[in-house]
Structure 1
Amino acid sequence: MQSCAGALACALALAGCGPLHTTVPDLVHDTPTDWQARNAAAGGLAPDLERWWRAFNDPVLDELIERALKDNLNVRIAGERLQAARAVRHAQRSAFWPNLNFRTYVETAPNARTGYLEVGLDSIWEFGLFGRDTGNNRINLADENLAIIDEVAARVSVTAEVARNYIELRAAQARAQVLDDTVATRRRQVELAQKRLALRLGTQLELDRAQADLQQALGDAAEPGLTVTQTMQALAVLLGTTTPDPSLRNVAPSPQLPAIDFRQTPADLVRTRADIRRAEQNVLHAAGELGIARADLWPKLGLAGTFISSTALTGDFTFQNDFVPIAGPSITIPLVDWGARRSIANARERALHASTLAYREAVIEGVAEAQTALAQFDAKSALAQNAQKTLELNQRSAKSAQTMQRIGLGDGLDTASAELAASQARLARNLAERDRSLAYIALYKAFGGTIPPLAKDAKNEGLP
């Protein structure tokens, strides 16, 4: 008994010289104080990070996103994994609590003449000293938070994909209308060229060109139909079904995105990105692994006890049944493999340093992507404004050509050419508005979306 007490005292003395705590490194927030690219839409709609798609003011889009967040399989998978991570963390909280087990087993006396049935209770209580308990808690905390982040990331991705495919769908439907009008105008041009040729006012070359333009217009008019089919099928997958919603085939106006003012949006907002939050938790996870590796360099201390009764099954049946309690310290000291454990601890230190660098890299890449997305949105907004002005000018020209034809100062070819120019301007405006909307979606995806409060342990430890 004295030797056990001496060993325990020696182990505790060594603990005073060992690393009892592994600190989580302070993470440098390399986010700029302001964005380099600035949206100049002063007085525009204030950005809403949580419900950003509401800016389109489209009830159908709102309903699709609500359905997707409820029925999308990737979102549901992420939710199940989050519940699993929470259950595992709850179970791991008792890793260093005392346990009590009931068991039965058989033993044979050394002379092999008597067999015993032993029935009783046993308990082992590891103290989790030298930072082992803290390291275990950090790993499980990081795993739960990673599951939270992955669930949010799935929602952000699904929301963006629903919005993107819906915008593509409505833009394709609007494009189909414009191209159908172009086909009708090209047919009129062919008819006029045929009449001019019959009256010897035109040439065969003019007719051939008109017919070639008609064939080109017919080919172009087939493209939106394929996009409609593809986007409807993509929306069906996002909604967790194989059957596209037939109501989406009903032509509806493209959502109109108002002016958005990002001037007051802080650049630090980019830290809500899922990849940056994952990198934060990877640092916490690596710190936990390092803490356990360092704890493995030192003795495992605890208490063990049994309370058993032995009954003779064979041999000497005169053996008296009795309950025997046994309790004492439990000590495990690494000896021969200490060098291997030291190598593992060194490797964990390197892994922790690598995770801090990976966090900085994630922040730098996230800021760059957000800066690019904001500049892209600014550029697409300017192009959309120019396309709208060009459309207005071409529509005015088309009306003037119709008026000139009506009063006899112009012919049908001039009117058709002006209408074609207006149709091309409508098509360009449609594509510009689509691209601006897609840039808006990409911008919010680059921002990352709101992350709910992450889990913390009893000591309120965890990265913000």
Structure 2
Amino acid sequence: MPNDVPATWQNGAPAAPGLLQPDLQNWWHAFDDATLNQLIEHALHDNLGIQIAGERLRAARSLRHRARSEFWPNLNFRIYEETSPGGSTGYLEMGFDSTWEFGFFGRSRASSRMALSDLNTAIVDEAAARVSVIAEVAKNYVELRAAQARGRVLDDLVALRRKQVELAQIRLRTRMASALEVDRAQVDLQQALSDASEPALTIMQTGQALAVLLGTNSPDPALHDTSAQPRLPPLDVSQTPADLLRTRPEIRRAEQNVLHAAGDLGIARADMYPKLGIIGTLISSTSVTGDLDRPDKAVPLLGPMVTIPIVDWGARRAVVNAREAALSAAVLAYREAVLESVAEAQTALAQFDAKSLLVENAQKSLALNEHGALSAQTLQRIGLGDGLDTATANLALAQAHLQQSLVLRDRALSFIALYKAFGGAIPPLKAPK
């Protein structure tokens, strides 16, 4: 297994001093968004998927207690009817019986392993449900705020396109432009109007998705109020593979599958040997038909309980062979989970780095377009430029704002995908004794 994990990540820039370090426990705090923090807090408390996983975890804890008590002495009280072999007398029997199977030949340890793996799998599933819900809340919130920001910019673009049409018509009337220029301006306006209708659908879809994640049927009214688009600070997301192995749910499940397969094999091997234990009874018998003059008697019995397999035509050996193959398959599946998890994290890390570079480029482009818009306004004010030059510069600035909004959204989504690939924080699992 160690050879399946690289010594270092293939993607990811070297850590720079002063960058925010990763925090698997509260990674969404990097957005520094109070509304997002509140939504995640509510989701962790009210999400139905998390509650379902919690109930399954409680069920697994109860079943583990049952598995532990399987090889403890038990005591039962019974009342039943018995007829003598000759059919002359019927008895009403009542009393206590007890059995105690010792769990020798590894049976008790194997049963404990299986119950432990089921409990740990439930722990992993509950934690994975939290990781998934947190990621989905953050993803939908980022997309909602980005759509709201995009809607504001697209509305500005519509206004600028209308202004461009007006200028083109003025130029046509003064014979400074042709009808073709007006037609092109009209086409650009219609395209801007079509683009401006897109964010509303995204806002509705993400709002409904957040409502479901919070266990309600209507979006939070606070989401209707427009707010600044979430922005990430410079981050150092380089992380060692050992951290990945501690947090990735798929790997933790694969570990528990190996433990469960080992328990199955232990049970199969124990079935090749005798089952040993102690059995005891204390039964009182009362005649209800036939010979009614016989007195009641309470008869105690205590003795060994032995089951010895003799001939089964190789059935138990076949089960052992099957369980050995299943254990080998579980080990290979564990290795496969490691390789797939590392590959996904490598891809997510490379994508985050690429999106971070796009954000830097978009910021530079926005600064240049802001400078160009100010220059066009200055030239128009001193009479060296006209309104068309200013409108064109403002259109370029609006397009730069739109591009920045998109790349900020994509970087935030890649950050969420990266932490989901890392697996989030998994609580400590129970270890076999």
Tell me the TM-score normalized by structure 1.
0.91
Does the residue aligned with 1:409 lie in a helix, a strand or coil? coil
Query: What residue in structure 1 maps to residue 376 of structure 2?
Result: 401
Q: Does 1:323 align with 2:298?
A: yes
CA deviations 1:44-91 (Å, max 9, x no partner) are 111111100001000000000000000000000000100010011112
Q: Does 1:45 align with 2:44?
A: no
- Alpha-carbon offset, residue 158 of structure 1: 0.3
Query: What residue in structure 2 maps to residue 36 of structure 1?
Result: 10
Does the residue aligned with 1:94 lie in a helix, a strand or coil? helix
- Alpha-carbon offset, residue 40 of structure 1: 4.3
Q: Does 1:215 align with 2:156?
A: no
Distance 1:266 1:41, change over 3 A: closer
Query: What residue in structure 2 maps to residue 235 of structure 1?
Result: 210
Distance 1:86 1:29, change over 3 A: farther
Distance 1:124 1:262 in 2: 58
Query: What residue in structure 2 maps to residue 75 of structure 1?
Result: 50
Q: Which of residues 448, 454, 463 is equivalent to 2:423?
A: 448
Query: What residue in structure 1 maps to residue 235 of structure 2?
Result: 260
- Alpha-carbon offset, residue 333 of structure 1: 1.6
Distance 2:113 2:355 in 1: 45
Bigger mean CA offset, 276-285 vs 406-415: 406-415
Do the aligned partners of 1:101 and 1:122 also contact (CA within 8 Å) in 2?
yes
Distance 2:4 2:176 in 1: 72
Q: Does 1:110 align with 2:85?
A: yes
Q: Does 1:430 align with 2:405?
A: yes
- Alpha-carbon offset, residue 36 of structure 1: 1.1
Query: What residue in structure 1 maps to residue 219 of structure 2?
Result: 244
Query: What residue in structure 1 maps to residue 158 of structure 2?
Result: 183
Distance 2:86 2:177 in 1: 123
Distance 2:134 2:320 in 1: 42
Distance 1:166 1:380 in 2: 19
Runs of 4 or more consecutive aligned structure 1 residues displaced over 6 Å after TM superposition: none
- Alpha-carbon offset, residue 159 of structure 1: 0.3
- Alpha-carbon offset, residue 251 of structure 1: 0.8
Within a 5 Å distance, the mapping from 1:131-150 to structure 2 comes to 131-150=106-125
Query: What residue in structure 2 maps to residue 297 of structure 1?
Result: 272
Distance 2:280 2:3 in 1: 50
Q: Does 1:174 align with 2:149?
A: yes
Query: What residue in structure 2 maps to residue 368 of structure 1?
Result: 343
Do the aligned partners of 1:29 and 1:363 also contact (CA within 8 Å) in 2?
no
Q: Does 1:91 align with 2:91?
A: no
Q: Does 1:392 align with 2:379?
A: no
Distance 1:215 1:95 in 2: 74
- Alpha-carbon offset, residue 30 of structure 1: 2.7
Structure 2: give runs of 5+ residues left out of the alignment: none
Q: Does 1:164 align with 2:139?
A: yes
Q: Residue 374 of structure 1 aligns to which amino acid in structure 2?
A: L
Distance 2:354 2:163 in 1: 37
Do the aligned partners of 1:47 and 1:262 also contact (CA within 8 Å) in 2?
yes
Distance 1:64 1:32 in 2: 36
- Alpha-carbon offset, residue 200 of structure 1: 1.8
RMSD value, Cα: 1.1
Do the aligned partners of 1:297 and 1:338 also contact (CA within 8 Å) in 2?
no
Query: What residue in structure 2 maps to residue 125 of structure 1?
Result: 100
Q: Residue 305 of structure 2 aligns to which amino acid in structure 1?
A: S
Structure 1: give runs of 5+ residues left out of the alignment: 1-26, 460-464
Distance 1:301 1:97 in 2: 13
Distance 1:29 1:311 in 2: 72
- Alpha-carbon offset, residue 262 of structure 1: 2.7
Distance 1:453 1:447 in 2: 16
Does the residue aligned with 2:326 lie in a helix, a strand or coil? helix
Distance 1:332 1:307 in 2: 22
Do the aligned partners of 1:120 and 1:308 also contact (CA within 8 Å) in 2?
yes
Tell me the TM-score normalized by structure 2.
0.98
- What is the aligned residue count? 431
Q: Which of residues 42, 51, 62 is equivalent to 2:37?
A: 62
Distance 2:280 2:15 in 1: 73
- Alpha-carbon offset, residue 31 of structure 1: 2.0
Distance 1:390 1:114 in 2: 103
Distance 1:241 1:317 in 2: 70
Do the aligned partners of 1:175 and 1:224 also contact (CA within 8 Å) in 2?
yes
Distance 1:41 1:330, change over 3 A: closer
Identity across matched positions, percent: 64
